Structure 1
Amino acid sequence: MRQLIRGRVLDFHADPRDSEDNHRFWEDGAILIEDGRILAVGDHADLAREGLAEIDHRPHLILPGFIDPHIHFPQLQVIASWGAQLLDWLNTYTFPAEAQFADPDHAARMAGLFLDQLTAHGTTTAVAFCSSHKASAEALFTAAHARDMAMVAGKVMMDRNAIPAVHDTPQSSYDDSAALIAAWHSKGRQRYAITPRFAITSSPEQMEMAGALIRENPGLHLQTHLSENRDEIDFTLSLYPEARDYLDIYDRYGLLGPRTLLGHSIHLETREIDRIAETDSRPVFCPTSNLFLGSGLFDAEGLRGRGITSGIATDVGGGTSWSMLTTLAEGYKILQLQGQKMHPLTAFHWATRGNALTLGLEAEIGTLAPGSAADLVVLDPRATPAMALRAERAETLAEELFILQIMGDDRAVTQTYVAGRPCKQLRASAGISPPSPLR
């Protein structure tokens, strides 16, 4: 079935930092969709046909759906948990919450709610850490596949330095990951990411297993964490005294490359930056998490100056918002503190095509090019009274985008389309238990 999605359409074909010719904008535009794919994009007058089903979103903006390249599926109920810094936060909140994902029923319920939150905030693809339990990855892939929603995810590998309920072993982590790869990688729109959580929670034997999985499955993504927090770095190096630095641990096991996503990457040594550039590995900026946990400031322009491609992500639940709009707002502020600028066109490119480039999936997601998946977000720059008041003074597209970036959240997301199907519904606490009495 063909349908036409009408609105003010924006699509990027280049990075605004590289070229003034970076986007296409149709004031009265349309996207022609068939079987979950984009057939054409252009002026509405050129694409409209009598009898063609049409959904009119004017005067709202339509962009490719947001892409979140670093998020933790089992942490959806520990977001906004008071804590100190990274290691305390993990031990106090994260690991006990992740232990519950050994239960397939709990994991299945949370998977549906996790995907609901993503689409409610305009995110159509995520790169997700599951828990250490095979059941958690099974649940997320099952739910995403049922929605035809592109997901990159993996079972966390972690065999030490956490509570026993979230430990696996080097062999079980290999076996479970291999079974999940066989069952889910390239099934529909699902992709597997080999997922050693970070060097603190993986023994050398487990790192060997992660390296074996990469060698046996070339082309898969690998996701992990790097240099988020000074105490984390010190503890990591005490566990791997032979390593030259934190990055060298991953390098020794063959874990670096253009499909490697290095969450945070804040406190990097010069040699590490050189090696990230040499291997074309991909740092991921997580601004709300970095601020919440007091981790530090990501040097976006410094890395870019070395030719390094970086993503930008929510990092829920250390991150404090599911919204890529809020993520862009906090990212803007972190860069401001370092004398770096993020133009609104740059911001929206980063959350769409830029993150697709970071993942190497730009032919599938992140743009409105014909043949791409029909994953879309519809945005209202006048979604709240405060935004509407500010928008009265907006005179350019860039000004509208900046209002969305700085003042927007899920209320600004009018609709989200995954493979051409609308996903955002008004759900009054759907599936959520009533509150318990407060202590």
Structure 2
Amino acid sequence: MNKKNTIKSSSNTSFISSNIIAIRSGLLHFINDPAKVTNISNAYQYFEDGLLVIEHGCVKIVKTFSDSDVSQYENIIDHRGKLIIPGFIDTHIHYPQTQMIAAYGEQLLEWLETYTFPTERQFKNKGHAKVISRFFINELLKNGTTSALVFGTVHPQSIEALFEEALDKNMRIIAGKVMMDRNAPDYLLDSPKTSYQDSKNLIEKWHNHGRLQYAITPRFAPTSSPEQLTAAGKLKAEYPDVYIHTHLSENKNEIEWVKSLFPERDGYFDVYEYYGLAGKRSIFAHSIYLTDKEWGAFKRTDSVMSFCPTSNLFLGSGLFDLKKAEKNNIRVGLGTDIGAGTSFSQLKTLNDAYKIMQLQGNKLSAFKGLYLATLGGAQSLSIDNKVGNFEIGKEADFVILNWATTDLQKLRYQYSKNLEDKLFALMMLGDERNINATYVAGKLAYSAEVTN
């Protein structure tokens, strides 16, 4: 019987479960945004033959390997020829949509009505939510993602199920139940009162429990009444360290709909800001069609954008302007946006991000791309004091990558010129097959090895 995600026993097993782990491998992490440095070497650290030491789940040492390390650390795990990077961080993903990924033929609003809402109805059943939660968490780990900002459904039990599974894996997950009281099927509607109370109960139970945090989650402005948005703002005022997670300016028809529903407001972003939902811990997925005033409002409020290239292409939504975000010093993270996004892999997501930049006459370097998927995502979610790179004392979430797994990748790797060229080939050709292992808080959570 084939069992995926089963960690094969080895001579290192007892050492892995101890308080100190030492791994020898290539190491790469980012210490700055590549777009903000004049010399790219100031944005990252790379150790071709490095040593990563983990103690009690946190980074203790990251350095070039030396012969003296052999006597200092017993049973060093040898991954020479591979590359260790911090765990990927997904800043926008819908776990209930995992089962409807790659649904054919619609743009945003029609896609929601045809596929999304009927799918989300099933999450009233917590048993179903638990099954999909388990699959979802395992799929994140299989793809090297160790932290994520996640949408649930309108049902509180959808988030209970997700948090229970994430807690079992000790993952850093930020999530929230959807708030939605209009312009959706009756079977998915809550109310201002119930959405406030259900969210409050979930915050009290789960926020800052282990590595879990809560996000107040109005689906998007059209599906929340002014009364419900007021309730969301009240929650944010009562719990200022929770997150806001929603959608913004993904689709032109969506924007016109918002204008008709909120004629008194000065644009889509102003709806959220008016109700107290903008700010440092507010993440707005997509943010494609923004006015100059909205760009200024993002900068003024220190709000965050999630760049979701795969779903933007799949739904035909448009092209995110990463360069303009950089010029305005706006934090940007990378989102797979499952299930409009078609892969859990941040490598495949970066493949599409590169193409979106090309369509705008811009470039996305491998350094900038991998920064977005690691430290950039951590900074976007205000968790860069915890994860995102290998600074001493940070939680040891990381992934061990195979440089090349397919014949094509191996050929391309053989003819790569330098580190940047190798990373770019990995970014463009890589996927979950390149994930050798994923560690969460210093513990092996996924291995590509398969036990028969």
Normalising by structure 1, report the TM-score: 0.95
| Residue in structure 2 matched with residue 436 of structure 1 by the alignment | none
| Residue in structure 1 matched with residue 210 of structure 2 by the alignment | 188
Per-residue CA distance 1:310-355 (angstroms, 9 max, x = gap): 1111001011111100111100110111111111111111110011
1:293 aligns with 2:311: no
C-alpha spacing 1:48/1:126, structure 2 compared with 1 (3 Å): farther
User: Unaligned regions of 5+ residues in structure 2, if any?
Assistant: 1-18
For residues 240 and 127 of structure 1, what CA distance do their matches in structure 2 show?
Answer: 27
Give 1:48 deviation, angstroms: 4.2
Percent identity between the two aligned chains: 45
| Residue in structure 1 matched with residue 24 of structure 2 by the alignment | 6
Give 1:426 deviation, angstroms: 5.0
| Residue in structure 2 matched with residue 168 of structure 1 by the alignment | 190
Say if 1:2 and 1:53, in contact at 8 Å, map to a contact too: no
1:159 aligns with 2:181: yes
For residues 321 and 378 of structure 1, what CA distance do their matches in structure 2 show?
Answer: 19
1:58 aligns with 2:93: no
Give 1:237 deviation, angstroms: 1.4
Number of residue equivalences: 430
For residues 316 and 304 of structure 1, what CA distance do their matches in structure 2 show?
Answer: 25
Choose the corresponding residue for 1:406, options 423, 428, 431: 428
For residues 283 and 426 of structure 1, what CA distance do their matches in structure 2 show?
Answer: 32
For residues 394 and 347 of structure 2, what CA distance do their matches in structure 1 show?
Answer: 23
Give 1:53 deviation, angstroms: 3.6
Say if 1:141 and 1:190, in contact at 8 Å, map to a contact too: yes
C-alpha spacing 1:170/1:143, structure 2 compared with 1 (3 Å): same
| Residue in structure 2 matched with residue 40 of structure 1 by the alignment | 61
For residues 267 and 73 of structure 2, what CA distance do their matches in structure 1 show?
Answer: 63
Give 1:427 deviation, angstroms: 8.8
| Residue in structure 1 matched with residue 6 of structure 2 by the alignment | none
* SS state at 1:128 partner: strand
C-alpha spacing 1:425/1:51, structure 2 compared with 1 (3 Å): closer
For residues 128 and 449 of structure 2, what CA distance do their matches in structure 1 show?
Answer: 20
1:381 aligns with 2:399: no
| Residue in structure 1 matched with residue 9 of structure 2 by the alignment | none
Indicate the larger mover: 175-184 or 40-49: 40-49
Give 1:47 deviation, angstroms: 4.3
Choose the corresponding residue for 1:204, options 204, 218, 226: 226
C-alpha spacing 1:51/1:381, structure 2 compared with 1 (3 Å): closer
Greater RCO (Cα-Cα under 8 Å, separation 6 or more): 2
C-alpha spacing 1:48/1:217, structure 2 compared with 1 (3 Å): farther
Choose the corresponding residue for 2:277, options 235, 250, 255: 255
Give 1:33's aligned amino acid: I
Indicate the larger mover: 131-140 or 40-49: 40-49
1:395 aligns with 2:413: no
Give 1:36 deviation, angstroms: 1.4
User: Unaligned regions of 5+ residues in structure 1, if any?
Assistant: 431-439
Say if 1:227 and 1:265, in contact at 8 Å, map to a contact too: yes
Give 1:58 deviation, angstroms: 1.5
Give 2:76's aligned amino acid: E
Per-residue CA distance 1:179-238 (angstroms, 9 max, x = gap): 111111111100111111100111111000100010000121111000000111111111
Choose the corresponding residue for 1:361, options 349, 372, 383: 383
* SS state at 2:310 partner: helix
Choose the corresponding residue for 2:352, options 330, 342, 355: 330
1:112 aligns with 2:130: no
For residues 296 and 191 of structure 1, what CA distance do their matches in structure 2 show?
Answer: 31
Per-residue CA distance 1:51-83 (angstroms, 9 max, x = gap): 634322220110000000000011001111103
Give me the CA root mean square deviation.
1.5
Choose the corresponding residue for 1:272, options 290, 294, 301: 294
For residues 427 and 8 of structure 1, what CA distance do their matches in structure 2 show?
Answer: 20
Give 1:376's aligned amino acid: F
| Residue in structure 1 matched with residue 102 of structure 2 by the alignment | 80
For residues 53 and 116 of structure 1, what CA distance do their matches in structure 2 show?
Answer: 28
* SS state at 2:187 partner: helix
* SS state at 2:21 partner: strand
